């Protein structure tokens, strides 16, 4: 086997516990398909813009592959491969009948008009429509994409394949979307945080929280934390941040951020940058923005006692080690942010059965799924005396390895 890259360190720690052979490790780590496409689109000024799109289908042993589409300038081969692999373990941790995939376009969506974004999305579908679909690989929103992008995606896909609403999830409600999909990841994060404190004999109510990111995931995480009586004392986004040791009023901040393009400058708060956020004295730190934020440099300044990873891959292995040594408990991404893919699964099931479930039913089903996953991970962590991340990987990798073995190779 070749030397593991950083993202595979977590995999091998769990694979060692499971005594997985080198050959099986190679099979589990190698993506099934890794595609990179050219996207040439007419821009509003008449010129042609050239972009690069990616789709990595990591593993389909447990079912069709599932994973988001990210529009961000830093999207590249390695990031998409890493995130596709995370999706394989994540869908297995919450026991969905899926494998893992991920895709994206290297672009800053804020630099394009709505028309340009639509043309770019449609061109991407033109390039990959024959490798995705309801039974093979189902995209969903991620950073820089939303339900509108998913609606364009579905419409373009259907031009080739006919009525197929299950080809993508995270669609608008009016176009075969699912109640509660938009809030799902943030809701799941809060279910996990709540369960974590419950297991520790504590309450989420009254806990102080520092949150990085106020987009889809960050906003709903903040909203549900606020509803449950937690005190959010610091928030940053890409433009800046705000802090108030007495707690930020989240409904007001959400309104403010909408009209002011971010949280910076919120009345009754102090300005704050990411370093200040990590160094904020609080019970719980929630990274809900980019990957790679908690590093060997930033981990030592973290003041929180607990971390719940809402973002994908926010903690480097070096930082993870530092948190372990410092006794900071980390609920890992493949467990904590699985609410989004879980409700995406509910959307896919409804689309395939042509039914529509009410919001309360979705929320109840999500609570059950996330709680069961948390409890299974917690049990492994206790039995094997390993951190929650290793326990989650043991659960996910164990399920994928078993399915791979049972199916056989021909
Ligand atoms: P989004 O684009 O809606 O929001 C991203 C947020 O991060 C924005 O508030 C942005 O201002 C902030 N941000 C960007 N750069 C920053 C920086 N340098 N410092 C501080 N804040 C910064 O994206 P999202 O959908 O909320 O996704 C956030 C994270 O959650 C990503 O890691 C994503 O992969 C992960 N995730 C998303 C979902 C989902 O359903 N959307 C599901 C699982 C995981």
Average pLDDT over residues 11-17: 97
Which pLDDT band holds residue 2 (cuts at 50, 70, 90)? very low
- CA dist., res. 377 & res. 399, Å (int): 13
Q: Looking at the structure, tell me whether residues 202 and 133 fall in a common domain.
A: no
Q: Looking at the structure, tell me whether residues 159 and 183 fall in a common domain.
A: no
CA of 310 to the centre of ligand 1 (A): 9
Q: Would you say residue 178 has pLDDT above 80?
A: yes
Q: Looking at the structure, tell me whether residues 138 and 192 fall in a common domain.
A: no
Average pLDDT over residues 97-118: 98
Q: Would you say residue 194 has pLDDT above 90?
A: yes
Q: Looking at the structure, tell me whether residues 237 and 153 fall in a common domain.
A: no
- At 335 the pLDDT is 98
- At 391 the pLDDT is 98
Q: Point out the ligand 1 atom lying closest to the alpha carbon of residue 333.
A: 44
Average pLDDT over residues 83-104: 97
Q: Point out the ligand 1 atom lying closest to the alpha carbon of residue 262.
A: 11
Average pLDDT over residues 16-35: 97
User: Encoding tokens for residue 410?
Assistant: 């021909």
Q: Would you say residue 147 has pLDDT above 50?
A: yes
Q: Would you say residue 33 has pLDDT above 60?
A: yes
Q: Point out the ligand 1 atom lying closest to the alpha carbon of residue 241.
A: 20
* Among 289, 294, 315, 370, residue to substitute to test ligand 1 (most atoms within 8 Å of Cβ): 289
Instruction: Report percent pLDDT > 70 for the chain.
Output: 98
Q: Looking at the structure, tell me whether residues 42 and 108 fall in a common domain.
A: yes
Residues annotated as part of the active site: 102
Please name the residue whose Cα sits nearest to atom 37 of ligand 1. Answer: 142
CA of 201 to the centre of ligand 1 (A): 30
Q: Would you say residue 281 has pLDDT above 60?
A: yes
Strand 33-42 relative to strand 48-59, pairing: antiparallel
Which of 140, 170, 200 terminates a domain? The answer is 170
Average pLDDT over residues 42-69: 98
Phi and psi of 59, rounded to 5°? -155, 130
- CA dist., res. 32 & res. 56, Å (int): 8
CA distances from 373 to 125, 342, 391 (A): 33, 11, 11
- Residue 113's domain comprises 32-170
pLDDT in tens, 326-374: 999 999 999 999 999 999 999 999 999 999 999 999 999 999 999 999 9
Please name the residue whose Cα sits nearest to atom 19 of ligand 1. Answer: 238
User: Encoding tokens for residue 224?
Assistant: 């549900």
* Among 117, 170, 212, 216, residue to substitute to test ligand 1 (most atoms within 8 Å of Cβ): 216
pLDDT in tens, 362-373: 999 999 999 999
**Model-level pTM?**
0.96
Q: Would you say residue 3 has pLDDT above 70?
A: no
Q: Looking at the structure, tell me whether residues 93 and 211 fall in a common domain.
A: no
Ligand 1 neighbours (beta carbon < 6 A): 141-144, 185, 212-218, 236-238, 274, 288-291, 310-312, 337, 340
Q: Looking at the structure, tell me whether residues 67 and 153 fall in a common domain.
A: yes
Is 27 part of a structural domain of the chain?
no
Is 23 part of a structural domain of the chain?
no
- CA dist., res. 69 & res. 154, Å (int): 13
Q: What's the mean per-residue pLDDT of the chain?
A: 96
Q: Which CATH number is 342's domain given?
A: 3.40.50.720
Average pLDDT over residues 84-110: 97
Please name the residue whose Cα sits nearest to atom 32 of ligand 1. Answer: 311
- CA dist., res. 153 & res. 103, Å (int): 13
Phi and psi of 379, rounded to 5°? -65, -45
Q: Point out the ligand 1 atom lying closest to the alpha carbon of residue 170.
A: 40
Which of 170, 190, 206 terminates a domain? The answer is 170
| Burial zone of 52 (CB within 10 Å; 0-12 exposed, 13-18 middle, 19+ buried) | middle
Q: Looking at the structure, tell me whether residues 145 and 216 fall in a common domain.
A: no
Q: Looking at the structure, tell me whether residues 57 and 139 fall in a common domain.
A: yes
Considering all CA atoms of the chain, what is the largest pairwise distance in Å, rounded to the nearest integer?
Answer: 64
- At 410 the pLDDT is 66
Is 62 part of a structural domain of the chain?
yes
Is 1 part of a structural domain of the chain?
no
Q: Would you say residue 275 has pLDDT above 70?
A: yes
Average pLDDT over residues 39-45: 98
* Angle (CA) 343 345 349, round 5°: 115
| Burial zone of 343 (CB within 10 Å; 0-12 exposed, 13-18 middle, 19+ buried) | buried
**Contact predicate 335/373, CB 8 Å:** yes
Q: Would you say residue 188 has pLDDT above 80?
A: yes
Please name the residue whose Cα sits nearest to atom 3 of ligand 1. Answer: 215
CA of 2 to the centre of ligand 1 (A): 32
Which of 120, 144, 170 terminates a domain? The answer is 170
- At 7 the pLDDT is 72
The domain total for the chain is 2
Helices marked H in 30-76: none
């Amino acid at each position: 086997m070749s030397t593991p890259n950083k993202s595979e360190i977590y995999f091998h720690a769990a694979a060692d516990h499971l005594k997985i052979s080198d050959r099986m490790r190679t099979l589990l780590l190698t993506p099934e398909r890794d595609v990179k496409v050219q996207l040439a689109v007419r821009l509003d000024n008449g010129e042609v813009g050239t972009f690069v799109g990616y789709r990595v289908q990591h593993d389909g042993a447990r079912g069709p592959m599932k994973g988001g589409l990210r529009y961000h300038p830093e999207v590249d081969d390695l990031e998409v491969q890493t995130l596709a692999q995370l999706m394989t373990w994540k869908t297995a941790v919450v026991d969905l009948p899926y494998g893992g995939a991920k895709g994206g376009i290297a672009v800053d969506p804020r630099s394009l008009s709505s028309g340009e974004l639509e043309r770019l999305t449609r061109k991407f579908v033109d390039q990959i429509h024959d490798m995705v679909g309801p039974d093979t690989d189902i995209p969903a929103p991620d950073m820089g994409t939303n339900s509108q992008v998913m609606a364009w995606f579905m419409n373009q896909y259907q031009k080739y394949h006919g009525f197929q609403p299950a080809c993508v999830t995270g669609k608008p409600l009016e176009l075969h979307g699912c109640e509660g999909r938009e809030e799902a990841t943030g809701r799941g994060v809060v279910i996990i945080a709540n369960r974590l404190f419950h297991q520790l004999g504590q309450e989420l109510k009254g806990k102080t929280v520092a949150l990085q990111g106020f987009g889809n995931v960050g906003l709903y995480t903040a909203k549900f934390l606020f509803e449950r009586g937690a005190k959010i004392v610091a928030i940053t986004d890409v433009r800046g941040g705000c802090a108030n040791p007495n707690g930020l009023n989240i409904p007001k901040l959400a309104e403010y951020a909408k009209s002011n393009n971010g949280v910076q400058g919120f009345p009754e708060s102090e300005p704050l940058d990411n370093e200040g956020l990590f160094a904020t004295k609080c019970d719980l730190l929630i990274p809900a923005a980019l990957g790679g934020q908690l590093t060997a440099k930033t981990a030592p300044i973290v003041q929180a006692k607990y971390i719940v990873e809402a973002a994908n891959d926010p903690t480097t292995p070096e930082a993870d080690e530092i948190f372990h040594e410092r006794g900071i408990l980390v609920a890992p991404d493949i467990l904590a942010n699985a609410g989004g893919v879980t409700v995406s699964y509910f959307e896919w099931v409804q689309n395939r059965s042509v039914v529509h479930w009410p919001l309360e039913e979705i929320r109840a089903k999500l609570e059950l799924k996330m709680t069961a996953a948390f409890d299974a991970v917690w049990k492994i962590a206790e039995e094997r005396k390993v951190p929650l991340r290793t326990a989650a990987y043991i659960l996910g990798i164990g399920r994928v390895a078993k399915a791979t073995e049972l199916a056989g190779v021909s």
